[in-house]
Structure 1
Amino acid sequence: MSEELTTEFYRGWAGTRLALHRMGSGRPLVLIHGLFSSAAINWVKYGHAARLAAAGFEVIMPDLRAHGMSEAPHDATAYPEDVLVTDALMLARHLGLEAGGFDLGGFSLGSRTATRAVLAGLEPRRLILAGMGLEGLAGWTKRSAFFLDAIARYGTIKHGDPAYVAQQFMKAQKVDLIAAGHLLGSVDDTPPEQLGDITMPTLVICGDVDQDNGSAPRLAQALPNARYVEIPGNHMSSVTQKELGQGIVDFLA
């Protein structure tokens, strides 16, 4: 069946065992999930992967290190600068993905990772940046500090505190707090002036009330060859909307 989900593992930076989920057959489409989430939550649970598989794609969905079914090392040396980008480049080599022979996308942290992977030399035919705005790409220090504070106060944050939702999501996903703290410190900013180097057709798709990572329309304007698509929802709920998967299908088709 084209919608059967399979899981395998590959080795990322420093030999870390990383999970890789696949669905469908056809043109490879690599989709990277968001912070504290997983391929299962971002892409499978709400039908996006199945919709894309039905449209003729092989949907390839890694679990980032310290997420999902992937290993979560506690050694800080397992989280050098831009380690998620290194893992993405190693995944492309593992799969034998050639320039222009695949598509690439991500949600939130996955969009950061996909953006920086392209700047590091990955060459997808098309790029999808979901749940991301211009200010978010260049403002990771502030965003990271918010989550590091949530980790530091984990278990004591009360309803009404801005960090409460993050705490509850980490609880639901059984996030390894030590590994997550290391990972947060490994992510780099992407200054707006670097975006001119991303020349492939790009879809910027974001919830209509999602401002967690800044302005998605401004991100689309800053990219040389991008279009902006608005879908319902905020940063958490937009992932649950069928419009996310359909928007990606429409763009890639």
Structure 2
Amino acid sequence: MNTQTIASFDGTPIAVHRMGTGRPVLLLHGLFSSAHMNWIKFGHAQRLADAGFEAIMPDHRAHGDSGKPHEASAYPPDVLVRDVKAVIAALELDDFDLVGFSMGGRTAAASVIAGVRPRRLVLAGMGLESLDNWQARAAFFIDAIDRFDEVKRGDRAFMAVSFMKTMNVDRVAARHLLLALDEIAREDVARITMPTLVLCGEDDRDNGSPHALAEALPDARLQLVPGTHMSSVTEAAMGEAIVNFLSD
């Protein structure tokens, strides 16, 4: 694996981790996570590399090894989509596939709606309700940030706070990012026309119904793998499903 840093649209440094050679696959991780946690640690990037793909894994701003600016002005509307476009432009990606998990899935969907055109798309850990109900989801995480030092076991925010501690999340930057992410109109889902895999844990409904999301997309299939929202990404089955779909 090698890592490079690109400057995004506003100069914020975005760390991009790359593994393998072959057809490019851009992988977007989830909230409070990182490329390493979502794609490398549990072997998904290696499976892609072994199958003849190049796994290209940016850390979102406010995450991982990327910049974590504390100014609210560094988080304009569509900031993550603009970062994705900056990565695509800097790496001169043309014919590629796009994969996103949870917040990364929302970002992947929003990027396609904004004009990004991958050959194939994987939306993992996603449900239809996560598109236009983001404010409620964001409010939960903002509350967890604001009560970070008060949350105890048994609190509904306990798992979120525990994960933030594990990932050493910059809470100032993360809070700005949460406030910047926009709703995605359900009518815009029809603009996602490329073959799409909706991939979700059997016990994961954190972001709504994956069945409804698959039904709303013009050209989608649904695949369930073992696990909850937190555990499904640790399952080999998730990486295997991504490889199989992109290899069709």
TM-score band by shorter chain is over 0.9
Is the aligned partner of 1:161 residue 2:161? no
Q: Please report the RMSD computed on the Cα atoms of aligned residues, expressed in angstroms.
A: 0.6
Shift of 1:128: 0.4
- SS at 1:31 equivalent: strand
Aligned to 1:235: 229
TM-fit CA distance, 1:13: 2.9
Matched residues in 1 for 2:93 and 2:236: separation? 28
| 1:163-178 matched pairs, under 5 angstroms | 163-178=157-172
Cα offset, 1:130, TM superposition: 0.2
- After TM superposition, the structure 1 = structure 2 runs for residues 58-73 of structure 1, keeping only pairs within 5 Å, are 58-73=54-69
1:201 is aligned to: 195
Identity of aligned residues (%): 56
Give 2:31's aligned amino acid.
L
What's the offset of the Cα at 1:93?
0.6
In the alignment, structure 1 residue 107 sits paired with structure 2 residue 113: no
Partner-residue secondary structure (3-state), 2:230:
coil
Q: 1:27 aligns to what?
A: 23
Which residue of the partner structure matches residue 135 of structure 1?
A: 129
Structure 2: distance between partners of 1:148 and 1:130: 23
- Aligned-partner residue type, residue 237 of structure 1: S
Aligned counterpart for 2:39 among listed residues 38, 43, 61? 43
For 2:57 and 2:207, the matched residues in 1 are separated by 22
Match among 97, 106, 109 for residue 93 of structure 2: 97
How far is the alpha carbon of 1:188 from its aligned partner?
Answer: 1.0
* Residues 13 and 83 in structure 1, CA contact (< 8 A), matched pair in contact too: no
Aligned pairs (5 A) from 1:238-253: 238-253=232-247
Deviation (angstroms), 1:190: 1.1
Q: Which runs of 4+ in 1 moved over 3 A?
A: none
Q: Counterpart of 1:206 in 2: which secondary structure?
A: strand
Q: Deviations along 1:86-139, whole A, 9 cap, x unmatched?
A: 0001111111112xx100010000001100111111000000000000001111
C-alpha separation in 1, matches of 2:12 and 2:43: 29
Aligned equivalents of 2:176, 2:66: Cα separation in 1: 15
In structure 2, the residue matched to 1:56 is: 52
Is contact 1:13–1:78 with CA below 8 Å preserved after alignment?
Answer: no
Unaligned runs of 5+ in 2: none
8 Å Cα contact 1:33-1:106 kept in structure 2? yes
Where 2:180 maps in the other structure, the secondary structure is: coil
The answer on whether the counterparts of 1:198 and 1:223 sit within 8 Å (CA) in structure 2 is yes
Q: Is the 8 A contact 1:9 1:17 kept in 2?
A: yes
One-letter code aligned to 1:77: S
70, 74, 84: which one pairs with 1:78? 74
Length-normalised TM-score, structure 2 = 0.99
Equivalenced residue count is 247
TM-score, length-scaled by structure 1: 0.97
Matched residues in 2 for 1:247 and 1:138: separation? 27
